[in-house]
Amino acid sequence: MATSSRTRRTARRFPPVAESAAAARRFVADALDAAGEEILFAADLLTGELVANAILHAGTAVDVEVLVGDVVVRVSVSDGAPERRVLPRRLDRDAETGRGLQLVEAMSDRFGVEIADTSKTVWFELRSGDKDRAASTWDVPPVRSESRVGIHLVGMPVGLSRAALRHRGALIREAQLALASSDAAHLGVGREDLLATAGINDVLDTAFASVYSGLAPEVGAVDCTIGVPAGCGPAAATLAWVMDTLNERARSGLFLTRPALPEVRRFRLWTIGEILRQLDGDPPTPWTSTPDEEEHTPADRIAWDTGRISSTETPSVAADDDNLIVAVNEAAASMLRWEASELAGKRLTAIIPPAHRERHVAGFTNFLLTGESRIIGVPVKVAALRRDGTTVPIVLTVGLEHTVTGRPVFVGELRPAG
């Protein structure tokens, strides 16, 4: 946008705290007080997204500049982390975060990013009157040439990897929000370590997205290669301990995100382990399925009226959001050849055939993160695993209930398949 004598410029710096996103929106609204309603709405939304991104991913002070011309409005958001690249993601439809740059693409007339020695600026333009949308791109020259190494993942479970990616992103985002607010005292992770974690997480998200883009929906496991920077070993090691720390904080109730299920955590550790090992020149180690007996300590026990299923003759099993069986009636226990008292408290995977456990964990994790499920209330024909290792075909219908504190309880009816 070329400036002229009729262009008004207003700028302000905001500290790297969560409240700055709302403050920046008010600042831009004041600067655009004479603009039309459509421009005000778009500028308000996009400014909030870009400032929040800068605070979360750069962790520096943020400069917001507004240029107001006769026809074009330009808003620029600058941070002090040019090394943190702009990474627009093409997310799944049920991703709960990360759509800020997609909104900029969809709602602005032009957009772009500029990199300087000590700053990065993301900007957008809004035009009043006739729309003349110009070609825009997020592409910028790399800061420096950095060699990359191909990490070979053998037998990677696709569904579990997607669930681990979403869970990792949700925990990191909550930690970033806590760090930008007064809730950071008990986080257990410092700003620099969290920024390093977010940086390598962006790299992994982009690498896995390129793998997913070429896969058919029904693919369960795949041999693939992801590219990572040759010098990312220290950041990957930091990612491992930071995620374990955040997972423990989730277990203590600090976050809205629930702690990772054992399979999700194991996949994360396997991925990071493969990166570290192969950077050292070791050969790939294939993924192996998680044994059901792997230790799993619940975050806390839920209070739920087990009489809901004990009084029915329909074989029924109830599980909590830690994927633990909280109640099972005699009809279900008999069908599965367990004693009801023995089955209660076990992981739900104890009654799921091994070949289907990872897909179950992936779907379960995705539901907890997104609130969307393809099977809630929909009868599906599956196999249930008995105590002796045999399977029985059933029609499973899962209902969703909640405790008085709002935690979900999944009630499954196990009717024999006709």
String of DSSP letters for 210-273 = HHHTT--TT--EEEEEEEEETT-HHHHHHHHHHHHHHHHHHHTT-SSSPPPPHHHHHHHHHHHH
Tokens coding 311? 């009084």
Tracing tokens 């026809």 back to the chain, one arrives at 71
Cβ contacts of 328 within 8 Å, gap of 6 or more: 309, 316, 317, 318, 338, 340, 343, 344
Encode pLDDT of 284-339 as tens digits.
Answer: 999 997 665 555 555 566 778 878 888 889 999 999 988 999 999 999 999 999 99
When mean pLDDT is compared across 109-118, 174-183, 197-206, 340-349, the lowest value belongs to 174-183
Q: Say how far apart CA 113 and CA 124 lie, in whole Å.
A: 9
Report the predicted TM-score, pTM, of the whole model to 2 decimal places: 0.73
**Which pLDDT score is estimated for 382?**
94
Q: Say how far apart CA 72 and CA 50 lie, in whole Å.
A: 19
Residue 128: HSE in the Cβ half-sphere, 13 Å Cα cutoff = 16
Q: Say how far apart CA 166 and CA 361 lie, in whole Å.
A: 13
Q: Say how far apart CA 169 and CA 81 lie, in whole Å.
A: 20
Encode pLDDT of 115-163 as tens digits.
Answer: 888 889 999 999 886 656 666 777 765 545 568 899 999 999 999 999 9
Tokens coding 198? 């977010």
DSSP state letters, 308-330: HHHT-SS-EEEE-TTSBEEEE-H
Positive/negative CA dihedral, 176, 179, 185, 189? positive
Tracing tokens 């008292």 back to the chain, one arrives at 341
pLDDT band at 186 (very low <50, low <70, confident <90, very high): confident
**Looking at residues 40-49, what average pLDDT do you find?**
91
Q: What average pLDDT does the chain have?
A: 86
Q: Which residues pair with 125 in a beta bridge?
A: 74, 110
pLDDT cut 90: percent of the chain above it? 49
pLDDT cut 70: percent of the chain above it? 87
- For 345: left if phi > 0, alpha if psi spans -120 to 50, otherwise beta; the answer is left
pLDDT band at 213 (very low <50, low <70, confident <90, very high): confident
Q: Which residues pair with 318 in a beta bridge?
A: 327, 411
**Which pLDDT score is estimated for 216?**
84
